[in-house]
Amino acid sequence: MYSQYLLSLAVLTANLVSASRNPTYFNLTAISAVNNVSLFQCWQLTTPITSSAQNGLSGSMVQQLGALNGNATYGYLPANFPGANHPAPGNQYVVVLSGKMRVTVPNTTERAIFTGGANSVIIAADTADKSIIGHVTGTLDEPVAALQIPFLNGQIPPYKVLYNGTCKSRELNFC
């Protein structure tokens, strides 16, 4: 009699653990701007994460990233690259593939380090029409390889701002 309840508890627990490992929405840090000053914000894309139905990937998690421009670039920044003030050239994803990218906002205390890996997708949206000075992108003691992937016509996919500041590691999905 108890074994039946134990089995039900085991199945329920397994489902809860499985559900907690599969996030429903994708959170990422954005470099945005308010009142002509760049800042970091934690954004959540409002298109939900889904389970892939693609042959060979069925059951894996996928996030639709929106319409992208065909002019993506692969960049390489050497170790200890200081960077300089600049706005984002256009609304775009930046994907840090390797290394540690340091981003600061001049004349503020805003700073963040983005490490290459599964949670290294950010959005740069502090374009010249929104931020006077922009931000500074540099590196630490190792080079950084990154992709810059512009949105088609600058159109950022639907999102909501969770709060000002970088997303906490526990809030990042696909970890």
Tens digit of pLDDT for each residue in 109-129?
Answer: 999 999 998 779 999 999 999
Place 18 in a pLDDT band, splitting at 50, 70 and 90: very low
9 in any annotated domain: no
Average pLDDT of span 141-159: 97
Average pLDDT of span 83-88: 97
Average pLDDT of span 144-163: 97
138 in any annotated domain: yes
Can you give the residue range of the structural domain that contains 62? 24-170
Question: Does residue 63 contact residue 49 with C-beta atoms inside 8 Å?
Answer: yes
113: Cα within 13 Å, side-chain hemisphere: 8
Sheet strands (E) in 36-80: 37-45, 50-51, 61-62, 73-77
How many domains, in total, are found in the chain? 1
Choose between 172 and 160: higher pLDDT. Answer: 160
Using alpha carbons, select from 88, 135, 139 the residue that is nearest to residue 108. Answer: 135
Residue 109 belongs to a domain with what CATH number?
A: 2.60.120.10
pLDDT at 134: 97
Give yes or no for residue 5 having a pLDDT over 90.
Answer: no
pLDDT tens, position by position, 21-64: 567 888 999 999 999 999 999 999 999 888 888 898 888 888 88
Quote the mean pLDDT of the chain. 86
5 in any annotated domain: no
13 in any annotated domain: no
- Fill in the amino acid letter for 165: G
Give yes or no for residue 154 having a pLDDT over 70.
Answer: yes
128 in any annotated domain: yes
72 in any annotated domain: yes
CA distances from 10 to 37, 73, 92, 149 (A): 51, 48, 44, 44
Give yes or no for residue 94 having a pLDDT over 60.
Answer: yes
154 in any annotated domain: yes
103 in any annotated domain: yes
Give yes or no for residue 140 having a pLDDT over 50.
Answer: yes
Give yes or no for residue 10 having a pLDDT over 50.
Answer: no
